[in-house]
A and B are shown apart, each in its own frame.
Chain A
Amino acid sequence: MLIRRKPELTYADVTPEDLYFNRRKFLKAMGIAGAATIAGSGLLELLSPSRRVYAAGKFPNLAKSPFSTTEKPNTLEDVTHYNNFYEFGIDKTAPAKNAQKFRTSPWSVSVEGEVKTKRKFTMDEILKLAPLEERIYRHRCVEGWSIVVPWIGFSFSTIANLVEPTDKARYVAFESLYDPSQMPEARYGGIAFPYVEGLRLDEALNPLTLLCVGMYGDSLPNQDGAPVRMVIPWKYGFKSIKSIVKIRFVTKEPPTTWNLANSHEYGFYSNVNPNVDHPRWSQAKERRLGEILRRNTLIFNGYQDQVASLYTGMDLKKNY
């Protein structure tokens, strides 16, 4: 039956960032103002923090980003306990359970292929490559649900500028870690591992394309693609590959996992598009987690101003 035992201590047992944030702010305010003189406006500020940046955890000095949406982020609980990460199981609640012991340190990402300087970055190096920004993005799954997440990272173009792609580079191929000893559930996923993804070079260099190292003010939880992943907010979620170990600049369109599994249903581009249905379901609407009724899905997930020009002249129905 549906009775599930709660694991000993999960990520969810950590005080939610917003509560923690309020508490810090409260203590700080107490210090400055003194216990006796908290003004009415100060109290209001405490009740509804106006600052959008989650600055409680590992990354205290995050820059705000003009790309951030003003929409309300989902709760950390929802984002960490409802997601796909087939290496750790096929149920939405499985990654939170099965990824707890996933070893994400030491970790390095090798950048190779058509570049002037091949490099291997350790996680410590990656964290120092550029000032970390908080980017609050909409994230739309091909299955018809969506979330709003305060990711942390910097534009992927930072990496490209460091390794300098050659003139031959047209695409970027990404590869996730696959360690069957840590990911025994992967064999039931029905897709090939390691998980691979790809972008056209100009898509990868678009400033929205995020190399992501954290969320909600802290490092990435294991189940959300720790320690480093991509976030491409105008594409369906499966394009935003998790737990990256290899990045290759290549000349030809690289293979991508879901396209290999079912090319009829998942194309290389997989841009969010309410007008191009998935063969088995409509993409016109989506359910934002935390809401019951579906809302309309936006073309390019609402990022058309930034990315529509990448696809001028292309038939988006053919290049799904």
Chain B
Amino acid sequence: MPSFLANKWTKPPVFLLCLVPFGVLVGRALTRNLGANPVEFIQHATGDWTLRFLIFTLSVTPLRKLLKLPDLVRFRRLLGLFAFFYACLHFLTYLGPDQAFDLSAIWRDVAKRPFITVGFTAFVLLIPLAITSTAGWIRRLGGRRWQMLHRAIYISAICGVIHYYWLVKSAVRRPLTYAAIVAVLLLWRLGDWLIRRGRHIATAPKTQGASASG
């Protein structure tokens, strides 16, 4: 298994798999099979897939550690960039077909409607992460700073879930399902951090005490 994950040929199939939702949408569009409200259909599909890919991306680290499969990390950037790809489609559908590029109306929407404000925030936070996703940027920023920056995905995922929750009128089962998954993934990180911190304190020289853990 580990050697399979490390194989350089595993990435292209995963890449193609990530494109399937997009392919299905294009196929439906070409066969005029997007229902009575095609713009809404595309918005919902791309919104759903953005959240799903954010969840896939956030799952990499817990799975990697729990299953002891360090090579899983090779797919994290790919998944994260696909989250950004679907977020872009989602945003462009809103910008173009939905709002007809009426920038003043859009700006009013972003400022006034909490569910759009929070969705827009989720999207904007992903932009620097997509830009700095290259090896060159990791070098330039340094691993520690790069990692700090990329924790913005936590906020983006939280905003994305709130965006969905605030959108629905009353049927909250689906947004709450996404919220629960995101919560588990983030709480696992908190737990993992607390455990590591505890260990660090326990093993640290007595004289430095708790302050050494930073």
A15 within 8 A of B: no
Tell me which residues across on chain B come within 8 A of A282, comparing CB atoms.
Answer: 105, 108-109, 113
User: For chain A, what secondary structure do more than half of its interface residues adopt (helix, strand, loop), or is it mixed?
Assistant: loop
B45 within 8 A of A: yes
Enumerate B71-125 residues with CB–CB distance to A below 8 Å: 97-98, 100, 105, 108-109, 113-115
Identify which of B36, B37, B115 gathers the most chain A CB atoms within 10 Å of its CB.
B36
1/0 per position for A167-196, CB-CB distance to B under 8 A? 000000000000000000000111100000
Given contact pairs A90-B171, A190-B172, A191-B170, A280 touches B115 in the complex (Cβ within 8 A): yes
In the complex, what residue of chain B is closest to A290 when comparing beta carbons?
B36
Number of interface residues of A (CB under 8 A): 31
A98 to B146, CA, bound (A): 50
B28 within 8 A of A: yes
1/0 per position for B32-58, CB-CB distance to A under 8 A? 000111111000010000000000000
A293 to B100, CA, bound (A): 7
A251 to B101, CA, bound (A): 49
User: For chain B, what secondary structure do more than half of its interface residues adopt (helix, strand, loop), or is it mixed?
Assistant: helix
1/0 per position for A250-290, CB-CB distance to B under 8 A? 00000000100110010000000000000011100001011
In the complex, what residue of chain A is closest to B109 when comparing beta carbons?
A282
Contact A188 B21 (CB under 8 A): no
A11 to B204, CA, bound (A): 72
Tell me which residues across on chain B come within 8 A of A143, comparing CB atoms.
Answer: 169
In the complex, what residue of chain A is closest to B21 when comparing beta carbons?
A1
Tell me which residues across on chain B come within 8 A of A145, comparing CB atoms.
Answer: 37, 40
Identify which of A2, A82, A191 gathers the most chain B CB atoms within 10 Å of its CB.
A2
Contact B28 A92 (CB under 8 A): no
Interface residues of B, Cβ cutoff 8 Å to A: 20-21, 24-25, 28, 35-40, 45, 97-98, 100, 105, 108-109, 113-115, 166-167, 169-173
